[in-house]
C-alpha cells in the first residue's frame, strides 16, 4: 500500500474534504444510482403532483438522498458537495478514455495498477481487471477534481503553477509533441473562459421556479377558483412586469460579462519540441507545458504563461485597473532553485486577459513563454469565477424576514384551524371550506411582500444612478445602511492620482543640501544620472510610456531617451537604450570632450517584495560600468555603506513623510572594470546591489483630494470608523491619515512593529511612539511634540505595515483582533492582505465598506459588504458599486441612501405585516358570522390602498446628514416586535369595538347564514370593511416617520396625495348619500341610518390613529424600550466582537510601553554600524514589549 493509501486508510471512504482550511473547502460524499430508490422517487413525484421536483430544485441534496444510494467514492457516479457556507451542490462524475492514438500519460494510474491490499478494499473488482485506463473526474464551479488512486480520493487538478522549479520551466519545457498535447487536452480540457448567456426561455423557467413566484402562482390559481379575477389579473400583471425587468437585467449582466471575458478565436504558434519545428494552433487548444511564440505586434493572452526568452510590453488594466505599460522579462538563472509562484514571479508572467502590446527580442531569436495555467484556472479565470459564484450575502435583516414569514405561516395555521372548526360546525360545503382555508394563507402571507420590500432599494438605486453611482447588486444597498467601518485605499482614492515633483535633496560631504526644486539644474553627477537612467520607461509609437513615477522623475531631468531599431527589436543587446541631455551644450562647455550619453546595459525590474529597482549603465568614454538603484528609503539604506548616509537621515526623511510626501531614495555604485558585457547579463542582482553610496532623496507631492477631508470628518461624526489600507510607506500613510482627519489632532499614533523569530530571539512586538509636527509651514523647520502614554484610553491609533501584520497573524494570533480594532493605518499591504483584513474586521462584527480606485483593490472590494470602485476599469465589474466621479463623496452618498433604503425596507415590511394582520382579523371576525368581504372590497384594500401606499412609501428621499446612530438591522429587535404586537392588538381592539358598537344598535339584524358562507353584503361586512380601510392608512402614516434617516413625510408629495385621496374617498363612502359607488362595493344603505351613527363610526379609526402614533413614537423614538430591556436582562457581548474587545482594552493598561530611549542614543549606537533595514523605519522614541 502506498504512503498516501496508508494515510487515508482509516478515513471514511464515502467522504472526503477537499481544499481544507480555505474558502474553497468542500465536503464531498459519494452516491450512485439505485433502482429501488429511483422507483420510490417516481412514486413520490407522482403522488405529490410534481411538488417533489420543486423541493429538489430548491434543496439539491434531496436528489441524492431520495434517488441514490451512498457509496464509496471509487464507485460513485454522483458527488454531493457541501461548501464552507453550508450550501449544497450535485456534480456528476464523468469518465474520459485515452484512445489508442494518444495513449496514456506517463505515471498516470487510476484504476489499473493497484496493490493486493488496495484491491481487497475496492467494492467493484470487475473494473480492476479491465486493461483500459480512463480519467474519472467531476467539475464544480469550473474547477476540475480528478480521481487519484494513490489516495483513493478526488483531488483538485494541479497545473504547472504548483511545485514547479524555475529551472525546470527553462530546461524541460522545450515544446510538447502532438501526442502529449492530446493527452493533456483530455485531462485539462479546452483553454476557454466561456460565460454562458442563457436564453430568455431558460432564464424564465429558472426565475419562475423561485419560491416567491411559485407562491404567487398558487395564490393566483386560488383566487381564480374563488372568482377573484380582478386582483388575480393585477398580481399576474405585476409579476409579469417584475419577471420581465429581472430577466432583462440578468441577461444584460450576462452579456456584459460574456463580452468582457470573451476573446475572438485566434491562432498562435507553438513549438513541437526540439528540432520538430513550429505549428500554428487555436488558442483554445493550448495546454499547460506548451511553449508558445508571441507575435511581434502583440496579442491578447488567453492563458497564464511565463516568459523564458525575450521581453514584452504588457497592458494589465484588465487585472489591475491601471492602463500603465508593464515590462515583462524572462526568467533568469539566478531564480533556478526557486519554486515558481505567479505572485512572486509576476514580473516574468503574462496573465490571461492582459494585452501584449509589443514583444522585444534579441537578434533573430523568438519571444517564447511556457503555458502555466489555462481556462478558469488562470488569473482572469479566477476573477470571472469570483463574479459568477460570489460569496453569499448574509444580512440579519433578510434572515429575520424569513423567520417572520415562518411566524406568519404559524399564525395562518391557527387561522386555518379556526376556520375549519367554525365552518364544519355550521355545516358549510367542503369545497368552500377548502377555499376559505387556503385563502387564509394568501391573506396572512401576502404575495406582494417580497416586491414591497424591494421598493425602497429600487428608489435608492435610481437616486444613486442620478448621482453617477452605479449598482449591480441592489441588495447591497441595504448593507450600506448598517456600515460602521469603512476602509480606504490612499493613492487615487484619498489623494490625487498624479504625483508632482517637489524636488531632489542631494548630499555633499555626507550632509543634506537644500531641496532643489528643478533637478535639471543639478550639476552633472551620479544623482542626475540615476534620475535619468534608473527607470523602466520605453517608447511606444514615439511616446514615452511607463510608470507615472518614473515619467515624472525622468521628465524633470529634461533629458531624452533613445531606443535604436524597430519597436520589436529595441532590446537587441548590442544597441542598448541611451539617455542624454536635450542639447550638447547643456553639460559640454568644451566641444573636445565626447558627448554625454549613457547606455542602459541591464535592468533589474522593480519588485514589490524587494521594494527597489536598479540598472547597470555605461557612460560614453568611461572604462567601467555603474549601478544606479532607487526604491523605498528603508530598503536602499540597508544596502548602502553606512558612512555615506547623513546622520540626520531619519529626521529629514520623517520631516517629509509626516507631511504626506512620497519619498524615493537613490544610490550608486561603480562596478569592477573587469566586468564584461556578457557577465553583466548573467550576474545576479544581489551581487551588485550592495555596498552602494547613498546619493540623496527624491520628494514628490501627493495632495489630498478636496473632498477627502470633509467626507472623512462627516463619517467620523456619524460614528463610522475610517481605516486606511495602502501600499505606501507607513510614515506617509500616517501623515495622510492626520491630514484627512482619520487621526484627530490630539490623538496619538503608535507604530506596531512585529519582528519574526530568529536563531537568537523569539518573535516579538515593538510599540513605537509616532511624532506629530507642531508647525508644518513651508520653509520653516519642523518642531516635534513628544507623545506620552500616561493614560489608558482609546485616544490612540495603531499603524502597522503588511510585514508586521503577517508576523502577528502567524506568531501572535490572539493579538490580531486587538490590532484590527485599534488599527487605523495599515501600510505596505499586499492585495491579498487587504482582503484578509476585510474578512478579519467582518469576523469581529463590523459591517465593512471598502473604497478603492480599482488598482490592487479588486479582491478587497469583492470581500467587503459594500465595495465602491472609483475606477471604470474592467476589473471593477466585480465591485457592487462603481462611481464615475473619482472622489469619496460617493461613500457618503451610498451610506445615506443605504440607511434610507434600510429604513424604508423596515417600514414596508412592518406595513405589509400589519396589512396582513388587519385583513386576517377582519376575515376571522367575518368568518364567525359566516360572512366575507366582496371581491370589490378586497380589490380596494389589496390594490388601491395597499399597493399604492407600498409604492409611494419608499419615495421619501434620504437625509443629507448622517447621524451617529445606525438604523436597526434586525426585525426581531425588541422595539420592532413590541411595535408589531401593540399595533396588532390595537387593530383587533378597534375592529371588535366597532362590531360591538354595530350590535348595540336597535336596528341591527344578524346576517343570515348560507351553505356557501358567502354573505358579502351585510352590516358586519360593511362595518368591518369601512373601519379597517382607515386602519391600513393609519399604520402606513405612522410607519413613515422621516428623520433621522429620511426626509420628513411632507417632502414626499406623491405619498401625501395618495394618503389624502384614500382618506377622502373612504370618508365619502361613510357619509355619502345613495350612489352607484356604494352599490359597486356592496355597502349596506348607511344613508338610511342616523348621521350620529356614521360620525361615531369614524371615531374608531380616529382613535386608532392617535393610539397608533403614540405607540409607535414611544416604542421606536424614545429610549423606554432600551431601559426596559436593561432592567430585565444584562446585555452580554460575545468575546470575539469588536465592542467587547474595545471595552476590554479600555479597562486595561495595554499596550505595555517600557523605557523610552532618546533619539541621539539610538543614532549614536548605529552610526558606526551597518545600516539595517528595520532600524530605518524606527521613530525617534522606541518602546518594546515582548509578548510570550
Of 609, 591, 612, 619, the residue nearest 665 (C-alpha): 612
Determine the Cα–Cα distance for residues 1034 and 1063; give it in Å rounded to an integer: 9
CB crowding 824-836: b at 16 or more within 10 Å, else e: bbbbbbbbebbbb
Tell me whether residue 905 is exposed, middle or buried, using C-beta atoms within 10 angstroms of its C-beta: 0 to 12, 13 to 18, 19 or more: buried
**CA neighbor of 705 nearest in space, from 845, 918, 896, 886:** 886
Residues 1105, 1117: Cα–Cα separation, whole Å: 17
SS3 assignment for 38-105: HHHHHHHHHHCCCHHHHHHHHCCHHHHHHHEEECCHHHCCEEEEEECCCCEEEEECEEEECCCCCCCC
Helix (H, G, I), strand (E, B) or coil at 735: helix
Query: β-strand 485-488 against 721-725: which pairing, if any?
Result: parallel
> In angstroms, rounded to a whole number, what is the distance separating the alpha carbons of residues 835 and 476?
18
At 617 the three-state DSSP class reads strand
Whole-angstrom CA distances from 905 to 477, 576, 783 are: 11, 66, 53
Angle value at C-alpha 1059, between 1054 and 1061, nearest 5 degrees: 90
Cα–Cα distance, 1149 to 1133 (Å, whole number): 21
Alpha-carbon distance of 490 to 512, in angstroms, equals 29
State the number of CA atoms in the 13 A half-sphere of 333 facing the CB.
6
Which of these, 88, 76, 67, lies nearest to 15 by C-alpha position?
76
Which of 169, 151, 192, 143 is closest to 386 using CA atoms? 143
User: DSSP 3-state assignment of 662?
Assistant: strand
Strand arrangement, sheet containing 748-755:
469-471, 881-883, 866-869, 848-852, 485-488, 721-725, 823-827, 796-801, 748-755, 764-769, 1182-1185
Three-class DSSP category at 667? strand
Torsion from C-alpha of 109, 110, 114, 119, nearest 10 degrees: 180
Local structure of 111: helix, strand or coil = coil
Of 886, 798, 812, the closest CA to residue 1151 belongs to 798
Q: CA 998 from chain center: how many Å?
A: 60
Answer whether 823's CB lies under 8 Å from 774's CB.
no
Is residue 753 part of the annotated active site? The answer reads no
Distance in angstroms (rounded) separating the CA atoms of residues 62 and 261 = 35
Name the nearest CA neighbour of 928 among 823, 871, 976, 999: 999
* Phi/psi at 1183 (5° precision): -125, 125
Could you tell me how far CA 1130 lies from the centroid of its own chain?
A: 36
290, 304, 489, 857: which is the annotated catalytic residue?
489
- State how far the Cα of 903 lies from the Cα of 963, in Å rounded to an integer: 14
Please check whether residue 488 is in contact with residue 627, taking contact to mean a CB–CB distance below 8 angstroms: no
Q: Which of 452, 457, 472 is nearest to 212 (CA)?
A: 452
Q: CA-based angle 214:216:218, to the nearest 5?
A: 70
Looking at the DSSP bridge assignments, the partners of residue 577 are 600
Q: Give the count of beta carbons closer than 10 Å to the beta carbon of residue 1172.
A: 14
Positions marked catalytic:
489
Amino acid at each position: 500500500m502506498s504512503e498516501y493509501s496508508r494515510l487515508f486508510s482509516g478515513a471514511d471512504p464515502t467522504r472526503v474534504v477537499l481544499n481544507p482550511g480555505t474558502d474553497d473547502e468542500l465536503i464531498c460524499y459519494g452516491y450512485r444510482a439505485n433502482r429501488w430508490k429511483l422507483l420510490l422517487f417516481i412514486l413520490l413525484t407522482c403522488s405529490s403532483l410534481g411538488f417533489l421536483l420543486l423541493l429538489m430544485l430548491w434543496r439539491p441534496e434531496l436528489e441524492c438522498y431520495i434517488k441514490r444510494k451512498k457509496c464509496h467514492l471509487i464507485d460513485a457516479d454522483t458527488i454531493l458537495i457541501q461548501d464552507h457556507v453550508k450550501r449544497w451542490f450535485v456534480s456528476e462524475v464523468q469518465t474520459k478514455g485515452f484512445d489508442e492514438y494518444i495513449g496514456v500519460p506517463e505515471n498516470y494510474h487510476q484504476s489499473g495498477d493497484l496493490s493486493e491490499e488496495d484491491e481487497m478494499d475496492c467494492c467493484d473488482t470487475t473494473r480492476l481487471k479491465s486493461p483500459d485506463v480512463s480519467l474519472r473526474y467531476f467539475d464544480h464551479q469550473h474547477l476540475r477534481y480528478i480521481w487519484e488512486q494513490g489516495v483513493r480520493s478526488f483531488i483538485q487538478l494541479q497545473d504547472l503553477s504548483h511545485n514547479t522549479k524555475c529551472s525546470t520551466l527553462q530546461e524541460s519545457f522545450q515544446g510538447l509533441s502532438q501526442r502529449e498535447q492530446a493527452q493533456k487536452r483530455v485531462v485539462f480540457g479546452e483553454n476557454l473562459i466561456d460565460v454562458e448567456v442563457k436564453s430568455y426561455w431558460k432564464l424564465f423557467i429558472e426565475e419562475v421556479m423561485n419560491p416567491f413566484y411559485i407562491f404567487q402562482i398558487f395564490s393566483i390559481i386560488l383566487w381564480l377558483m374563488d372568482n377573484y379575477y380582478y386582483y388575480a389579473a393585477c398580481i399576474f400583471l405585476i409579476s409579469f412586469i417584475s419577471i420581465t425587468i429581472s430577466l432583462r437585467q440578468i441577461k444584460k449582466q450576462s452579456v456584459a460579462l460574456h463580452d468582457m471575458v470573451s476573446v475572438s478565436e485566434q491562432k498562435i504558434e507553438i513549438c513541437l519540441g526540439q528540432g520538430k519545428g513550429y505549428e500554428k494552433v487555436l488558442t483554445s487548444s493550448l495546454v499547460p507545458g506548451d511553449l508558445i511564440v508571441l507575435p511581434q505586434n502583440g496579442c491578447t493572452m488567453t492563458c497564464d504563461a511565463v516568459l523564458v526568452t525575450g521581453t514584452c510590453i504588457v497592458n494589465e488594466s484588465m487585472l489591475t485597473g491601471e492602463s500603465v505599460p508593464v515590462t515583462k522579462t524572462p526568467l533568469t538563472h539566478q531564480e533556478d532553485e526557486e519554486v515558481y509562484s505567479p505572485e512572486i514571479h509576476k514580473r516574468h508572467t503574462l496573465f490571461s486577459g492582459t494585452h501584449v502590446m509589443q514583444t522585444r527580442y534579441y537578434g533573430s531569436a523568438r519571444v517564447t513563454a511556457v503555458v502555466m495555467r489555462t481556462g478558469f484556472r488562470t488569473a482572469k479565470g479566477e476573477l470571472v469565477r469570483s463574479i459568477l459564484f460570489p460569496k453569499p450575502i448574509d444580512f440579519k435583516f433578510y434572515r429575520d424576514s424569513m423567520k417572520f414569514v415562518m411566524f406568519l405561516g404559524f399564525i395562518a395555521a391557527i387561522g386555518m384551524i379556526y376556520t375549519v372548526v367554525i365552518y364544519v360546525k355550521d355545516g358549510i360545503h367542503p369545497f368552500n371550506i377548502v377555499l376559505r382555508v387556503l385563502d387564509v394563507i394568501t391573506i396572512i402571507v401576502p404575495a406582494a411582500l417580497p416586491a414591497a420590500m424591494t421598493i425602497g432599494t429600487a428608489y435608492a438605486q435610481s437616486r444613486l444612478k442620478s448621482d453617477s453611482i452605479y449598482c449591480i447588486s441592489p441588495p447591497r444597498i441595504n448593507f450600506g445602511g448598517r456600515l460602521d467601518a469603512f476602509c480606504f485605499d490612499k493613492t487615487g482614492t484619498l489623494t490625487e492620482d498624479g504625483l508632482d515633483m517637489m524636488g531632489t535633496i542631494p548630499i555633499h560631504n555626507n550632509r543634506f543640501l537644500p531641496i532643489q526644486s528643478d533637478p535639471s539644474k543639478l550639476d552633472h553627477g551620479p544623482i542626475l544620472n540615476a534620475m535619468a537612467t534608473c527607470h523602466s520607461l520605453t517608447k511606444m509609437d514615439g511616446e514615452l510610456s511607463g510608470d507615472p513615477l518614473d515619467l515624472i522623475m525622468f521628465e524633470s531631468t529634461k533629458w531624452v531617451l533613445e531606443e535604436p531599431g524597430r519597436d520589436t527589436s529595441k532590446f537587441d543587446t548590442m544597441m542598448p537604450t541611451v539617455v542624454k541631455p536635450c542639447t550638447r551644450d547643456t553639460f559640454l562647455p568644451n566641444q573636445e570632450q565626447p558627448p554625454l550619453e549613457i547606455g542602459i546595459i541591464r535592468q533589474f525590474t522593480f519588485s514589490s517584495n524587494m521594494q527597489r529597482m536598479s540598472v547597470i549603465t555605461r557612460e560614453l568614454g568611461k572604462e567601467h560600468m555603474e549601478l544606479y538603484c532607487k526604491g523605498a528609503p528603508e530598503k536602499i539604506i540597508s544596502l548602502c555603506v553606512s558612512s555615506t548616509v547623513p546622520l540626520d537621515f531619519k529626521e529629514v526623511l520623517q520631516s517629509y513623510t509626516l507631511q504626506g510626501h512620497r519619498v524615493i531614495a537613490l544610490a550608486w555604485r561603480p562596478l569592477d572594470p573587469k566586468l564584461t558585457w556578457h557577465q553583466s547579463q548573467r550576474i545576479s542582482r544581489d551581487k551588485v546591489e550592495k555596498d552602494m553610496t547613498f546619493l540623496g532623496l527624491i520628494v514628490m507631492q501627493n495632495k489630498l483630494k478636496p473632498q477627502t477631508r470633509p467626507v472623512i470628518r462627516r463619517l467620523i461624526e456619524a460614528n463610522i470608523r475610517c481605516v486606511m489600507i495602502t501600499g505606501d510607506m507607513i510614515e506617509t500613510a500616517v501623515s495622510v491619515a492626520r491630514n484627512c482627519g482619520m487621526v484627530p489632532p490630539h490623538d496619538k499614533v503608535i507604530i506596531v512593529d512585529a519582528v519574526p523569530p530568529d536563531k537568537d530571539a523569539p518573535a516579538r512586538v515593538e510599540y513605537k511612539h509616532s511624532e506629530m509636527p507642531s508647525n508644518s509651514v513651508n520653509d520653516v523647520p519642523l518642531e516635534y511634540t513628544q507623545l506620552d502614554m500616561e493614560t489608558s484610553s482609546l485616544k490612540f491609533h495603531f499603524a502597522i505595515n503588511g510585514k508586521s501584520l503577517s508576523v502577528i497573524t502567524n506568531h501572535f494570533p490572539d493579538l490580531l483582533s486587538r490590532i484590527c480594532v485599534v488599527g487605523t493605518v495599515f501600510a505596505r499591504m499586499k492585495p491579498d492582505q487587504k482582503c484578509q483584513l476585510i474578512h478579519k474586521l467582518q469576523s469581529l462584527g463590523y459591517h465593512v465598506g471598502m473604497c478603492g480606485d480599482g488598482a490592487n483593490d479588486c479582491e478587497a472590494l469583492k470581500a467587503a459588504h459594500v465595495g465602491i470602485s472609483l475606477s471604470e476599469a474592467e476589473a471593477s465589474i466585480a465591485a457592487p458599486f462603481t462611481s464615475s466621479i473619482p472622489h469619496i463623496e460617493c461613500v457618503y452618498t451610498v451610506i445615506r441612501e443605504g440607511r434610507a433604503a434600510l429604513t424604508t425596507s423596515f417600514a414596508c415590511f412592518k406595513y405589509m405585516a400589519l396589512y396582513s394582520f388587519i385583513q386576517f382579523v377582519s376575515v376571522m371576525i367575518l368568518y364567525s358570522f359566516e360572512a366575507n368581504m366582496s371581491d370589490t372590497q378586497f380589490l380596494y384594500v389589496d390594490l388601491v390602498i395597499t399597493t399604492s401606499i407600498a409604492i409611494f412609501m419608499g419615495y421619501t428621499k434620504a437625509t443629507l446628514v448622517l447621524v451617529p446612530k445606525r438604523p436597526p438591522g434586525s426585525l426581531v429587535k425588541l422595539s420592532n416586535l413590541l411595535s408589531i404586537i401593540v399595533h396588532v392588538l390595537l387593530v383587533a381592539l378597534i375592529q371588535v369595538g366597532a362590531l360591538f358598537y354595530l350590535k348595540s344598535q336597535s336596528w341591527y339584524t344578524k346576517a343570515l347564514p348560507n351553505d356557501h358562507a358567502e354573505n358579502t353584503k351585510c352590516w358586519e361586512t360593511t362595518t368591518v370593511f369601512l373601519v379597517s380601510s382607515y386602519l391600513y392608512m393609519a399604520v402606513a402614516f405612522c410607519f413613515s416617520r422621516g428623520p433621522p434617516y429620511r426626509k420628513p413625510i411632507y417632502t414626499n408629495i406623491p405619498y401625501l396625495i395618495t394618503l389624502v385621496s384614500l382618506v377622502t374617498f373612504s370618508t365619502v363612502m361613510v357619509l355619502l348619500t345613495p350612489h352607484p359607488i356604494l352599490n359597486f362595493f356592496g355597502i349596506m344603505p348607511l344613508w338610511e341610518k342616523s348621521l350620529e351613527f356614521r360620525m361615531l363610526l369614524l371615531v374608531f379609526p380616529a382613535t386608532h390613529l392617535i393610539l397608533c402614533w403614540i405607540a409607535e413614537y414611544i416604542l421606536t423614538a424614545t429610549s423606554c424600550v432600551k431601559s426596559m430591556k436593561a432592567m430585565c436582562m444584562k446585555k452580554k457581548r460575545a468575546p470575539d466582537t469588536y465592542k467587547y474587545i474595545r471595552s476590554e482594552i479600555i479597562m486595561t493598561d495595554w499596550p505595555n510601553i517600557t523605557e523610552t530611549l532618546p533619539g541621539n542614543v539610538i543614532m549614536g549606537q548605529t552610526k558606526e554600524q551597518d545600516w539595517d533595514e528595520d532600524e530605518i523605519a524606527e521613530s525617534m522614541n522606541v518602546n518594546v514589549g515582548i509578548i510570550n
